[in-house]
Amino acid sequence: MLESLITSKTRIKLMVKFFINSNTTAYLRNLSTEFGESTNAIRQELNRFEKAKLLESKIEQNKKVYQANTKHPYFKDMHHLLLKYVGIEEIVDSVVRQIGELEKGYIINDFAQGNPGNVLDLLFVGNNFDYNYLNTLVRKAEESVSFKIRYIAVTPDEAAQYIPDKTKTLLVWSAGDNF
């Protein structure tokens, strides 16, 4: 559906890249290689986002590095729209309801960096997980999305070893929050 509203595939890729995880940073040539598109097409879209103040940039080692402007009034709306677009919100909602004593839920690896691929990796932090129910929910969720879902369920004490790099994690649910 998003493709019918936003006709530029490059613009959609950039939105997913920067607005799924606000910690994501990238520069022009890196994006060109990642997307397999010309630097000119990507530069035009980056300029549009920067002009609209949706992206911020800074110079690091002679490279202009871009990152989402989390202070923009539309940032949260765009973030939630893109979570729905890639199917993450639906998965989180269905899994959280009866999973056990869930404290936090993370998306890790590629999806967390704004690179949707063939596998969505989830990290659940809590206690007393109902693994049979969790497996059933994950299989059911996989039927409605275009990617495979893998998960790791750990206790709060074990969580730190699975979150070594904050740029590769995206907190999508925390006890007491309304997602």
Residues 91 and 147 in one domain: yes
Asked whether residue 179 is assigned to any structural domain, the reply reads no
Residue 22 CB-density burial (10 A; 0-12 exposed, 13-18 middle, 19+ buried):
middle
Residues 63 and 15 in one domain: yes
Q: Which amino acid is at 147?
A: F
pLDDT at 89: 58
Residues 109 and 41 in one domain: no
pLDDT at 46: 95
CATH number, residue 50: 1.10.10.10
Asked whether residue 28 is assigned to any structural domain, the reply reads yes
Domain of 105?
87-174
Per this entry, what is the length of the chain?
A: 179
Residues 103 and 160 in one domain: yes
pTM across the whole model: 0.54
- DSSP labels, 151-173: EEEE-TTTGGGG-S-GGGEEEEE
Residues 55 and 7 in one domain: yes
pLDDT at 178: 44
Q: How far is CA 102 from CA 92, 95, 109, 128, 175, in A?
A: 11, 10, 20, 8, 7
CATH number, residue 137: 3.30.460.10
Residues 92 and 32 in one domain: no
pLDDT at 96: 66
Residues 35 and 102 in one domain: no
The string of pLDDT tens digits covering residues 91-120 is 666 566 678 888 888 888 887 777 777 888
Residues 108 and 50 in one domain: no
Give the closest residue to 151 by CA, choosing from 166, 133, 178: 133
Q: How many domains does the chain have?
A: 2
Residues 97 and 62 in one domain: no
The string of pLDDT tens digits covering residues 110-167 is 877 777 778 888 899 999 998 888 888 888 778 767 788 899 999 999 988 877 666 6
Q: Does 24 have pLDDT greater than 50? A: yes
Residues 153 and 103 in one domain: yes
Strand pairing partners for 58? 65
